[in-house]
Amino acid sequence: MNNNTSNQNMVTPSPSIAASAEPPKTKRLYQVWPGNNKFLCGGRLVFGHDASSLFLTSFLIGGPAITFCIKMLVALKHGHPIASQPILIGAAVLTILDFIFLFLTSGRDPGIIPRNSRPPEDEAFDLSTPYLDWMSNKTPNVKIPRIKDVKVNGMTVKVKFCDTCLLYRPPRASHCSICNNCVQKFDHHCPWVGQCIGLRNYPFFILFISSSTLLCLYVFSFSWVNLVRQKGSLWFAMSHDFISVALIVYCFIAIWFVGGLTVFHLYLISTNQTTYENFRYRYDRKENPYRKGLVSNFKELSCARIPTSLVNFREWVAEEDDYQDESYRTYNSEFDKGFVNPKQKFDMEMGTMYGKDSMRVPNILKDLDYSGIDDNLKKKVGAKDGTFDIFVLADQDLKYSQWKPKIAPNANIGEIGKL
């Protein structure tokens, strides 16, 4: 009897509770990564957002190189005096090396910095925004983007808080708007390799453009020799060897691009700059905190060990857990709209919409219902034409107002405007 009574008193868990007790399903990190990267081989290969441009780049490199090799192979088969095995082998080796460096540049992590699911703790409790200040009867305080000063080789360098990755970017890091990642020692996003160029793939990028330049010079030189050594005049040789003429013209044009790019990056290496720093901070016109001297600058690139990736894209994560907390992301999106850029220039994280007097007004204030506010108060604090300014009300004492916002403790910040 007692056993039956005890069995009746037992509480059977509801299906929802039982389901929640089940272990969450897991996925690889690369499958839920919020950036715009493309992954292959189970997250082992990390490509940029525009990785499809590799097909065009491969065609522009491989087309002329393979054409030259085939021409040399045919000439060698027919016993042509200008053809030799070393020339053919040299062209093949340069072409293979060029493709290897292209793949190593495009298919590896350029130095992606892991994102935070929450901002730094000291910043999480200092979110002073216009609508929160107004609710607490304070003068609206519109902040500029948060910046910290750090010392690098005795010089002050400013680091900026990334509102997308929720972290302070390390010195020389920047956020790529195409791949949507913060990258260590960000140089630029190269559309030809379809990848960001950063700390972990910059050496391979230098080898790629250098080998491309050498390949162009190689094909150009031996194609010209092929014309000169033929019998008859130069014009006669050109009229009977269209392939060599086409290769000469193509390589002459390509050398101006890849050769000029190689020389430019050799200059950047000698001064220890990145492309981003050269265009943004103009370190060639002022003191560079990273410059160590010509020899040390080249040694830093050629002898330094490539650091390991900061992100393990193959690690297991819970399937229902987003990489960033969705509730904070909604809040943070409204929070970002309260910033004012001091230069009033386009910024990926900040946007470009401004209100009057260059003040950014959050969208949340535009959706508030003011019907509960006393009409006499509107006439008192507003203009004579009946207009109502939310920032005028912020300077008044709360005792004049009969309306108080009712916000649930767990309410989504995006729903406040609907109250």
Residue range(s) defining the domain that contains residue 167:
121-189+320-353
In the chain, how many domains are there? 3
Same domain for 227 and 277, yes or no, is: yes
Task: Tell me, yes or no, whether 282 and 343 share the same domain.
Answer: no
203 and 287 assigned to the same domain: yes
pLDDT digits (tens, 9 = 90+) for 226-276: 888 877 777 877 888 899 999 999 999 999 999 999 999 999 999 999 999
Residues 229 and 331 in one domain: no
Computed over every residue of the chain, the mean pLDDT equals 75
* pLDDT above 70: percentage of residues in the chain: 63
Residue 9 lies in a domain: no
Percent of all residues in the chain with a pLDDT value above 90, rounded to a whole number: 48
User: Considering the domain boundaries, does residue 20 fall inside one?
Assistant: no
pTM: 0.69
| Domain final residue, candidates 353, 373, 394 | 353
The reply to whether 266 and 345 lie within a common domain is no
pLDDT at 74: 87
Q: What is the pLDDT of residue 230?
A: 77
Asked, for residue 6, whether it belongs to a domain, the answer is no
Specify whether 280 is located in the same domain as 197.
yes
Residues 209 and 284 in one domain: yes
Average pLDDT over residues 40-65: 96
Q: 91-100, 322-331, 351-360: which has the highest mean pLDDT?
A: 91-100
> Is the model more confident about 415 or about 299?
299
Mean pLDDT calculated for residue range 382-410: 38
Question: Where does the pLDDT of residue 39 fall: very low under 50, low under 70, confident under 90, or very high at 90 and above?
Answer: very high
In a domain, 395, yes or no: yes
Given this model, what pLDDT does residue 119 score?
74
Indicate whether 199 and 90 sit together in one domain: yes
337 shares a domain with 364: no
In the 3-class helix/strand/coil scheme, how is the chain assigned residue by residue? CHHHHHHHHCCCCCHHHHHHHCCCCEEEHHHHCCCCCEEECCCCEEECCCCCHHHHHHHHHHHHHHHHHHHHHHHHHCCCCCCCHHHHHHHHHHHHHHHHHHHHHHCCCCCECCCCCCCCHHHHCCCCCHHHHHHCCCCCCCCCCCEEEEEECCEEEEEEEECCCCEECCCCCEEECCCCEEECCCCEEECCCCEEECCCCHHHHHHHHHHHHHHHHHHHHHHHHHHHCCCCCHHHHHHHCHHHHHHHHHHHHHHHHHHHHHHHHHHHHHHCCCHHHHHHCCCCCCCCCCCCCHHHHHHHHHHCCCCCCCCCCCCEEECCCCCCCHHHHHHHHHHHCCCCCCCCCCCCCCCCCCCHHHCCCCHHHHCCCCCCCCHHHHHHHCCCCCCCCHHHHCCCCHHHCCCCCCCCCCCCHHHHHHC
272 and 151 fall within a common domain: no
pLDDT at 130: 47
User: Given this model, what pLDDT does residue 236 score?
Assistant: 78
Which pLDDT does position 278 carry in this prediction? 92
Catalytic residue from among 176, 179, 182, 190: 190
Q: Are 244 and 391 in a shared domain? A: no
Q: Where does a domain end: 238, 270, 303?
A: 303
Residue 10 lies in a domain: no
For residue 82, what pLDDT band results from cuts at 50, 70 and 90?
low
399 inside domain: yes
- Per the annotation, the verdict on 190 as an active-site residue is yes
Residue 180 lies in a domain: yes
Token pair, residue 147, equals: 């910046």
pLDDT over 50 at 95, yes or no? yes
392 pLDDT above the threshold of 60: no
Tell me: do 177 and 224 sit in the same domain: no
Residue 173 lies in a domain: yes
